Structure 1
Amino acid sequence: MRQRTGKTMFKKQIELEPTENRQRTKHLAVVVGLAFAIIAAIGLSMDVDRRLEMLDTQVGETDALWNASRAELDLTVLADASGMPATSADDLRARMAGFRDGLTALESEIADRMLQEDARFGPAMEQLSAFSDELADSAARSDAELAAGLPAISAQARSLLPVMSELSNNAHEVFSQRAAFEREAMAATLYRMAATAVSLVLILSIFAMVLMRLSRRAQEQAAQQRDTATRLQRIFETSLDAVLVFDSLGRISAFNGAAENMFGYGADEALGAAIADLVVPDHRKPAFYRELHAYADTGKSGIVGAGRLEMEARRKSGTLFPVELSVDRVADRDGPVFVAFVRDITDRREAEASLVEARDKALAGERAKAEFLAVMSHEMRTPLNGLLGTLSLLRDTRLDAQQKTYVHNMSASGQLLMHHVNDVLEISKFEAGKVLIANTAFRPEPLLHEMIEGQRSVAEANRNELNYEWLSDPVPAMTGDPVRLRQVLLNLISNAIKFTRNGSVSLECEVMEHNGAETLEFRVVDTGIGIAEKDIGRIFGDFETLDSTYGRRAEGTGLGLGISRRLTEAMGGEIGVDSIEGEGSIFWIRLPLERAEIHESDENTAACTRFDRALDVLIVEDNQINRVVLRDMLLAEGHNVTEAMNGEEGVRISELRRFDIILMDISMPVMDGVQATHAIRAGNGPSAETPILAVTAHALPDEIRAFGAAGMNDTVGKPIERIDLLAKLASYCGTRPPESPLALTDPEPRKPAETGAVDDQRLRELMQDLGADAAGQLLDRFIRETDATLEEIEGCSAQPMGDLVPRLHKIAGSAAVLGAATLHSRLGDLEALGKSGEEAPFREGLAELAPIWARTRAEMVDVVGGA
């Protein structure tokens, strides 16, 4: 019974008539119209009544006229009474009384009609009234006296006959006119009343028709609403979602079958109960009631009308489960009513959790794959670098023709394998999100020229012509990543050469307008085999080779174009291809052009620094990596280099011949740089006056003063910048005089990279200066030395700081040179702490080296592997 009642209540709530207001408006219009009609009828009735009263007045006027005529007749009799002796006194008195009564009645009518002031009535009435008064006096006399005064009365009556006659005529005229006017007004009123009656009948007829139409429409709408209510009732009963209807106090008034199944309550249990007690978890009840009260107070709530919300609900068993809830208010005559639609989303949550788990597993698999590829690529690079380096040394020995052929073939195969390994490592870096794009000013012309010249021999081997040209004015300088740009263009050019025989390959460069901004477009045009239209869409994918058969014309992993696409997009550009199979292809990349200005002071110092001759330079450095970098930089500029591995050896070599300049490391075994400088300056050798430059990453102020006191002229900072190094050489040995006054200053170390542990730009510059192979060999050596040094420090971390600082200094110099900025900065801090005797922070800093080195090691491998 309660179930049925709940459904009936819900049905009543949803049977709200959408046209009720319109019907009320029409009914109101009908009532107002009828009211106006009734008011008009009442007004006309009152007017008719007034006219009837005026008709009664006209009857009085008729009596007044009769009285006037009687008074005139009596006055005539009185005028003739003197000639009639037989007239008795009583008859005479009767005539006098008749005259007086008629005159009085006439006077009363004139007064009622407010005609006293009328010239036609006022003077006459005064004369006649005076005569009437005299007659009254005469009538009161005796018969004899009356008879004696009769001649005078008759004479006076005769004189007043014209006045009386004129008064009577005027009264007849006035009263007749008024009677005619009243008759006409009465007729008009009757006409209006008749018209009003007809109009009222018509209006009532129209209203009756309107009411009939409204009744029919109301019946139709009622039928539609019954149908709608029936459909909504069926929806309510068959809905897969739970539907709960409750009032502002939270009392449930409707509870459908889905709600019974979802929450476990029967309708008889739910109806009339508080919704919070049945389905809201205990920890959510206060918030639920707060929202209801907030809606009652302000009309706003975080639940009502807030759309779909996800939260927890409670079953009859007490178990909680996730639901999707939507609550809104519906109109009701008894106050606000709320309808809640509730959906059990347990299955969806489980599916989402499964998807997340599957995604996590997939990502973990991808990470494992990427890490495996990166590790394997690095582990393969290390022996490959050693192999290629050994082959390079072997090539410089005395070999017969057959041995040279073997070495050449081994070197070519090793380089090809290194290229493939680097491609795999590059893809791993992209997937790990570790590819960084530099933003530096450079001149594109030298880069293009060097790249084309480097590929010319390969093009000639396939009997191809190779050239490049600007189709617009050349760009003097631009901002971007020259290393990545070279890598992309080199991939495209090498591919074009690879698939072209007896043809031509050209690189076209053009500045264009694209979307309102300047872009620089590079096009690699070849006359090779072309690409089928069906294959164009997939050539920029990873591991895509259009010919995977054993007899294919060109070898490759299929990674080159995929890497080019990723790099181009990372630089903010686009890449594409237009090709016709059998005729050739045009690969293009379009990059945003940001022009730059490179002043002469920013150019390579070697280009603007002139030396009269090749310099003789002595390098005193115990760290092989630093020594190799310095040596190769100087040899590349055409200078002569002599190396010493410690201060004592440097002093001995300086006494053998004169050097133009000495580059002196500070911390070295056997004899440090300060002691060696003292010895050189104190001796009488040929290099006693030679400028000595301290090579150091950082030093304390006291140490800086000690350098100057020992005889050092200046410092060269680590990491060693080729531009800075050549500038120092030019200051002391070139055509430019040294800067004055000279002052030993602590060189500013390069700040740690903001986005990583490695200054990748510094490392790439070093690779450009030394070559990729030599830089790779230095990196491998640095990794081995740092691994070993940190293991030694970890094994003997309890030793005195003075014993540990030299070991830290040993790897600090190499870290600076190779761009390991974060590691170098931390090692420098530890050196300073060790020298100042701060034990506690020094020991804490040692514990931080291992994670810093792990991150640095991985990033350095990524940078070198991607170059």
Structure 2
Amino acid sequence: MSIDPHITKPVPRPAWLARLARAFGPPNPKPKHFSDEELYAVRPTSAQRVIGNPRLLGLLSLIGLILMTALTLKVIKDVRQLRQSTIEDIEWSLNEAEVEFLSYQYAVRQAAFGSGSNYVTMRREFDILQNRIDDLRYGVIYEPLRAAPGFEDAINAVANHLGASAAAVRSPDNVLRAALPEMENHAVAMAPHVRSMAAAGQTNLDVLLDHDQLALSTTLTVMGVIGFILTTSLVLLAFYFNQLRRQSEARRISLIAAGERTHAVMASSLDAVIVCDADGVIEEFNAAATETFGFSHQEAVGQNVATLLVPPEHRDAHNRGMHRVSHGGGFHMVGKGRVRMEAMRADGSHFPIEMALQKSETHGHLMYIAFVRDISYRVRAERDLIEARDQARAGEKAKSRFLAVMSHEIRTPMNGILGNMSLLRETQLTEEQQGYLTHMESSSDILLGHVNDVLDIARCEDGKPLVQYRPTRLREIIDSAVESMRPPAEDNGNSLTLIHSGPDLGWVQTDPGRVQQMLLNLLSNAAKFTEHGSIVVDVRCKAGQDDVVIHIKDDGIGIAETALDRVFEDFFTQDDSFARKTEGTGLGLGIVRRISEALGGSISVESTLGEGTTFTLRLPMLQCDAPEAETPPAPQVEDAVDQNTTDMLKVLVVEDNQINRDVVRAMLIREGHLVEEAHNGQSGVEKASEEEFDLILMDISMPVLDGREATRAIRAGQGPSAKSPIVALTAHVMPENVTEFLGLGMQDVLPKPLLRPDLQRIIRDHAAAANNDTCPTLLRLNRMRQLVDMEVNKALRESVGEAYDMLLTQMREELQDLLEWLVEHEQPLPEVAERCHKFASSAAVFGAIPLQEMLVNIELAAKGKDTVEVSRRIEQLPDLMAKSLNRLNGGGTKHKIG
């Protein structure tokens, strides 16, 4: 019957004609566009028409039954033949095993009474028999044999006898000759087991054959019965499906209703829903799409989505994608979830959207369904969030800068306080005054520790490195830290015990200062929060492992369980009456956590309130070679004076703070030296150009002319002090600051607050003339400035192996390109800084430390927009680069940078 979408009753036709049309008639032609009723109507498929013909189903069922019967008979025949063939193979293998055993027994006897040429035959027969026995023991085909009573015992006995002779068979001829009598005894002992094995296997094969045949016949019979039942069921199901076909008309009406519901859902959807055909022509445009894009349903339907909704600048890409899809290519956006892009409204304005694209095909009609959401508000929120994040980062950077500046500003007056207290200590004091001075020194040390802690946190938050690796004797560092904390621990009535477990690792690569800092912080905590108890430091090293585990255990007040998760936070202190009696900012453990992570380790804590606390510090410690032996230290200044090596130094102190100048002058005078003062950098340059000084102490942050510019001016001038040692006297003590100062031509750095032992070290190192190559400091600097640090280079070679030469060639080419680029013509300073920064790390990887420092200095000068310094450094670069590459290639001698 034909279907009219507006008529629910079928048009009557002759029954025989209807059945013939349903069974063999061609399907209705599909229109190019479908109405809703046609789209959702259910038409009988070809399979349904076949199932609905009872005669055809009966014929197919009969043919199926005949074919299944024939196939069943053939399967029975083939399986029987296969089974018989398998049993014959097993029988043949059993017979062959007996024959091979006799051959082996005969070969053993021939070898026993014959010449050495018979050994080859005997070995071959042994291998043949052993392989046969292994096949019978483990082969899948012989699995039925192993279930036979007595078979497994017999074949295992044979295998044991063969195993007893195997070693002799594989031995040289002289050993084999001596073992032949024993092998013959084993062969004789095997004979009854071989016969038992063959008999048990033969008996079991007959039983298995009858049993398998019966089982196979039964299985196939059951299969035939089941096949017949299935065929009958198929016939019954064919009639059942014929009835289902009659219900398809009712389903068509139901699906039309479902389509109407789908249209209602689209109309009420909050997301814009756009349906397009394969050419991009819009077929559906729901109410949300109208609200989003500003086009009415009538304006949108029939229009191409590219010209209506895609912004002009994106239309070419859209059209290329549609062309690719129309020629068989893939649509990259289909099924990829929500994709963010830009769309165009009716007024021509652009706005951001999220679109999910799906593809559907119904009755050969391809459709693309787009679910679109306007995300303008979200983009604005994200932009606001990014701005807030940037402001927060700027605030963090401002905080870090503030902390660094405040650290410097605090260190400057502390220099005056500590210096004056050091001078006061050497005057005549009453016992009461000495007590006051001791308290002042203790408080100053605590304040300086707090300043250093804040500086460490500022450096960490600013992303600057906390550690500097160098060869270190780990045990000496730990012993020193424990011994330095013994007095404060004993002041509270505590015992301090150090235990070393495992081997001494010797020299390791780590930062000794940071390791000591962590131990001192942890031990200080243990000493503060423990009274009349015990503190145990347990250092555990294991052979073959590079990790070191340090347990610091005390039986003090402990930590509450609720506070364990916060104990490593900054400024966290326990709310306990005993804790309130102790001093501290709550920064110590936070710094320990940061340092341990910077070293690649970890810190954890276990504690019970009132019973004690255990901190566990895990640190990776890679063993390394001992550093080259250093030159013995120069004699003390007093010794030098006694030996008439020098009477006194003429020192220029360039410092803008009057108190600091007074302190340094007093310390130098007490050491027996002459002192000249300059109140700013410009004054220092003028004095250095007028007379020669043995040593210049240069502050960094000064008015008129700071220490950096003053050092450049002194070095660039022709005055009598142009080559005098210049030492930075500053609170800027971060590694990057020290590197910068040395790059400017300074010889050392004196940190503020200035302590007298540090000043004495500087005087001792520079007691000789500025250009005297025997000066201990210059010798030490020269050792540090070898063209290539061979320890670093050796570690790289061991890490990369054969790839070292390739990497070196690549770095050489890159450095040559950099050099050509730098000297070709004047380059933009930001790009110069960027490129030099990039290749400085490459030089450091190979151990070319002076070359790295040169590139870093060029980078710093470029960042500071100092074109004169950049040009000067670039002029020095070719010679240094050539010598460094020559050293890396293994040529020449150890050049030094003077």
What TM-score, normalized to structure 2?
0.51
Question: Hey, what's the Cα distance between the residues in 2 that align with 1:305 and 1:210?
Answer: 39
Q: Given residue 612 of structure 2, which amino acid in structure 1 is its aligned partner? A: G
Question: Hey, what's the Cα distance between the residues in 2 that align with 1:33 and 1:377?
Answer: 102
**Residue 438 of structure 1 contacts residue 481 of structure 1 at CA under 8 Å; is this kept in 2?**
yes
Residue 355 of structure 1, aligned match among 361, 385, 392 = 385
- Kindly indicate whether residue 538 of structure 2 is the aligned counterpart of residue 508 of structure 1: yes
Question: Hey, what's the Cα distance between the residues in 2 that align with 1:522 and 1:760?
Answer: 36
Q: 1:219 to 1:333 in 2, by over 3 A?
A: closer
- The aligned counterpart of 1:586 is 614
- Structure with larger Rg: 1
- The aligned counterpart of 1:537 is 565
Shift of the alpha carbon at 1:470? 0.4
- The aligned counterpart of 1:344 is 374
Q: 1:387 to 1:672 in 2, by over 3 A?
A: closer
Report the secondary structure of 1:375's partner residue.
helix
- The aligned counterpart of 1:444 is 474
Q: Deviations over 1:562-620 (max 9, x none)?
A: 11111111111111111122221111111123122216x34674599xxx999654386
Question: Hey, what's the Cα distance between the residues in 1 that align with 2:257 and 2:546?
Answer: 67
Question: Hey, what's the Cα distance between the residues in 1 that align with 2:447 and 2:747?
Answer: 19
**Residue 326 of structure 1 contacts residue 340 of structure 1 at CA under 8 Å; is this kept in 2?**
yes
Q: 1:547 to 1:846 in 2, by over 3 A?
A: farther
**Residue 521 of structure 2 contacts residue 588 of structure 2 at CA under 8 Å; is this kept in 1?**
yes
- Kindly indicate whether residue 335 of structure 2 is the aligned counterpart of residue 287 of structure 1: no
**Residue 9 of structure 1 contacts residue 253 of structure 1 at CA under 8 Å; is this kept in 2?**
no
Q: Given residue 448 of structure 1, which amino acid in structure 2 is its aligned partner? A: I
Residue 559 of structure 1, aligned match among 581, 587, 591 = 587
- The aligned counterpart of 2:326 is 296
Shift of the alpha carbon at 1:368? 2.7
Question: Hey, what's the Cα distance between the residues in 1 that align with 2:747 and 2:621?
Answer: 26
Shift of the alpha carbon at 1:760? 9.9
Question: Hey, what's the Cα distance between the residues in 2 that align with 1:449 and 1:598?
Answer: 19
Residue 474 of structure 1, aligned match among 504, 527, 548 = 504
Task: Map 1:413-492 onto structure 2 (within 5 A).
Answer: 413-492=443-522
Question: Hey, what's the Cα distance between the residues in 1 that align with 2:734 and 2:323?
Answer: 53
Residue 24 of structure 1, aligned match among 4, 29, 46 = 46
Report the secondary structure of 1:365's partner residue.
helix
Question: Hey, what's the Cα distance between the residues in 2 that align with 1:351 and 1:416?
Answer: 47
**Residue 758 of structure 1 contacts residue 821 of structure 1 at CA under 8 Å; is this kept in 2?**
no
Q: Given residue 588 of structure 1, which amino acid in structure 2 is its aligned partner? A: T
Task: Map 1:754-769 onto structure 2 (within 5 A).
Answer: 756=736, 758-759=738-739
Q: 1:331 to 1:607 in 2, by over 3 A?
A: farther
Q: Given residue 492 of structure 1, which amino acid in structure 2 is its aligned partner? A: L
Residue 268 of structure 1, aligned match among 273, 295, 298 = 298
Residue 387 of structure 1, aligned match among 402, 408, 417 = 417
Report the secondary structure of 2:581's partner residue.
coil
Report the secondary structure of 1:552's partner residue.
helix
Question: Hey, what's the Cα distance between the residues in 1 that align with 2:604 and 2:408?
Answer: 31
Q: Deviations over 1:6-49 (max 9, x none)?
A: xx9685697487xx89x4334346679739959x99xxxxxxxx
Shift of the alpha carbon at 1:378? 2.1
- Kindly indicate whether residue 526 of structure 2 is the aligned counterpart of residue 526 of structure 1: no
Q: Deviations over 1:754-775 (max 9, x none)?
A: 9945449999xx9999898547
What TM-score, normalized to structure 1?
0.52
Residue ranges of structure 2 left out of the alignment (5+ in a row): 1-32, 64-231, 655-669, 677-687, 695-710, 763-770, 772-776, 786-848, 860-865, 875-898
- The aligned counterpart of 1:791 is none
Shift of the alpha carbon at 1:671? 5.3
Question: Hey, what's the Cα distance between the residues in 1 that align with 2:459 and 2:609?
Answer: 33
Residue 625 of structure 2, aligned match among 597, 616, 624 = 597
**Residue 10 of structure 1 contacts residue 245 of structure 1 at CA under 8 Å; is this kept in 2?**
no
Question: Hey, what's the Cα distance between the residues in 2 that align with 1:603 and 1:385?
Answer: 32
Give the stretch that moved more between structures: 319-328 or 353-362: 353-362
Report the secondary structure of 1:587's partner residue.
strand
Equivalenced residue count is 531
Report the secondary structure of 1:331's partner residue.
strand
**Residue 651 of structure 2 contacts residue 675 of structure 2 at CA under 8 Å; is this kept in 1?**
yes
Q: 1:25 to 1:444 in 2, by over 3 A?
A: same
**Residue 750 of structure 2 contacts residue 758 of structure 2 at CA under 8 Å; is this kept in 1?**
no
- The aligned counterpart of 1:411 is 441
Question: Hey, what's the Cα distance between the residues in 1 that align with 2:872 and 2:742?
Answer: 26
Q: Given residue 592 of structure 1, which amino acid in structure 2 is its aligned partner? A: P
**Residue 352 of structure 2 contacts residue 375 of structure 2 at CA under 8 Å; is this kept in 1?**
yes
Q: 1:463 to 1:771 in 2, by over 3 A?
A: farther
Question: Hey, what's the Cα distance between the residues in 1 that align with 2:309 and 2:575?
Answer: 65
Q: 1:217 to 1:494 in 2, by over 3 A?
A: farther
Task: Map 1:114-153 onto structure 2 (within 5 A).
Answer: none
Question: Hey, what's the Cα distance between the residues in 1 that align with 2:343 and 2:469?
Answer: 55
- The aligned counterpart of 2:180 is none
**Residue 40 of structure 2 contacts residue 252 of structure 2 at CA under 8 Å; is this kept in 1?**
no
Q: 1:376 to 1:616 in 2, by over 3 A?
A: same
Residue 499 of structure 1, aligned match among 522, 529, 533 = 529
**Residue 322 of structure 1 contacts residue 344 of structure 1 at CA under 8 Å; is this kept in 2?**
yes
Q: Given residue 540 of structure 1, which amino acid in structure 2 is its aligned partner? A: F
Question: Hey, what's the Cα distance between the residues in 2 that align with 1:485 and 1:204?
Answer: 83
Shift of the alpha carbon at 1:473? 2.1
Shift of the alpha carbon at 1:260? 0.9
Report the secondary structure of 1:524's partner residue.
strand
Q: Deviations over 1:622-665 (max 9, x none)?
A: 5669xxxxxxxxxxxxxx9986789xxxxxxxxxxxxxxxxxxx
Q: Given residue 258 of structure 1, which amino acid in structure 2 is its aligned partner? A: A
**Residue 385 of structure 1 contacts residue 777 of structure 1 at CA under 8 Å; is this kept in 2?**
no
Question: Hey, what's the Cα distance between the residues in 2 that align with 1:439 and 1:12?
Answer: 79
Shift of the alpha carbon at 1:493? 0.3
Q: Given residue 243 of structure 2, which amino acid in structure 1 is its aligned partner? A: R
Report the secondary structure of 2:283's partner residue.
strand
**Residue 528 of structure 1 contacts residue 585 of structure 1 at CA under 8 Å; is this kept in 2?**
yes
Shift of the alpha carbon at 1:400? 2.0
Q: 1:429 to 1:292 in 2, by over 3 A?
A: same
Q: Deviations over 1:372-402 (max 9, x none)?
A: 2332222112111221111111111122222
**Residue 523 of structure 1 contacts residue 586 of structure 1 at CA under 8 Å; is this kept in 2?**
yes
Report the secondary structure of 2:556's partner residue.
coil
Q: 1:520 to 1:207 in 2, by over 3 A?
A: closer
Question: Hey, what's the Cα distance between the residues in 2 that align with 1:517 and 1:9?
Answer: 76
**Residue 531 of structure 1 contacts residue 579 of structure 1 at CA under 8 Å; is this kept in 2?**
yes
Shift of the alpha carbon at 1:321? 1.1
Q: 1:220 to 1:358 in 2, by over 3 A?
A: farther
- Kindly indicate whether residue 438 of structure 2 is the aligned counterpart of residue 400 of structure 1: no
Q: 1:26 to 1:768 in 2, by over 3 A?
A: farther
**Residue 525 of structure 1 contacts residue 585 of structure 1 at CA under 8 Å; is this kept in 2?**
yes
Task: Map 1:610-689 onto structure 2 (within 5 A).
Answer: 617-618=645-646, 670=691
Q: Given residue 47 of structure 2, which amino acid in structure 1 is its aligned partner? A: T
Q: 1:587 to 1:10 in 2, by over 3 A?
A: farther
Residue 568 of structure 1, aligned match among 596, 603, 607 = 596
Q: Given residue 282 of structure 2, which amino acid in structure 1 is its aligned partner? A: I
Q: Deviations over 1:768-794 (max 9, x none)?
A: 998985479989xx9xxxxxxxxxxxx
- The aligned counterpart of 2:706 is none
Q: 1:757 to 1:440 in 2, by over 3 A?
A: same
Q: Deviations over 1:131-173 (max 9, x none)?
A: xxxxxxxxxxxxxxxxxxxxxxxxxxxxxxxxxxxxxxxxxxx
